[in-house]
A and B are shown apart, each in its own frame.
Chain A
Amino acid sequence: MTKDDFWQGVRGGFPVMVSAAPFGALFGALAVDNGFSVFDAVFMSATVYAGASQMVGLELFGHNVQPWLIVLSIFAVNFRHILYSASIARHIRHFSGLQKFFAFFLLVDPQYAETEKRAERGEPVTFAWYLGFGMIIYLPWQIMTLLGAIFGQMIGDPKAIGLDVLLPIYFMGLVLGFRKRDNWLPVVAVSSLASIAAMRFVGSPWHVSIGAIAGILLAACMPLSKRHEEPVTLEHEV
Chain B
Amino acid sequence: MDNAEHMQLIYVILTAAVATFLTRIGGYVMITQMKRIPPRMEAALNAVPAAVLSTLVAPAFLSGGWDVAVAMLVALVIGLRFSSLWMLLAGWLVVMAIRHLLV
A residues with CB within 8 A of B: 19, 22, 26, 35-37, 40, 43-44, 47-50, 53, 56-57, 59, 61, 67, 70-71, 73-89, 100, 104-105, 107, 159-162, 164-178, 181-184, 187-188, 191-196, 199, 204, 207-208, 210-220, 222, 224, 228, 235-236
Contact residues of B: prevailing secondary structure: helix
Q: A79-B45, A89-B32 are in contact. List 9 more A-B contacts (CB 8 A).
A: A44-B13, A71-B19, A84-B24, A85-B28, A169-B72, A169-B84, A172-B72, A172-B87, A212-B54
B residues with CB within 8 A of A: 1, 6, 8-17, 19-28, 30-32, 39-64, 67-68, 71-72, 75-76, 79-80, 83-85, 87-88, 91-92, 95-96, 99
Candidates B8, B26, B83; contact of A81 at CB < 8 Å: B26
CB contact under 8 A between A171 and B16, given known A85-B27, A164-B68 = no
Chain B residues near A235: list those with CB within 8 A: 83
Name 12 A/B residue pairs within 8 A (Cβ), A-sorted. Answer: A53-B16, A61-B12, A74-B20, A79-B48, A165-B72, A168-B60, A168-B72, A173-B79, A176-B80, A191-B51, A192-B57, A215-B51
CB contact under 8 A between A212 and B57, given known A49-B20, A74-B16, A165-B64 = no
CB contact under 8 A between A104 and B21, given known A85-B26, A166-B92, A228-B42 = yes
Whether A184 and B50, one on each chain, are in contact in the complex, defined by CB atoms closer than 8 angstroms, is: yes
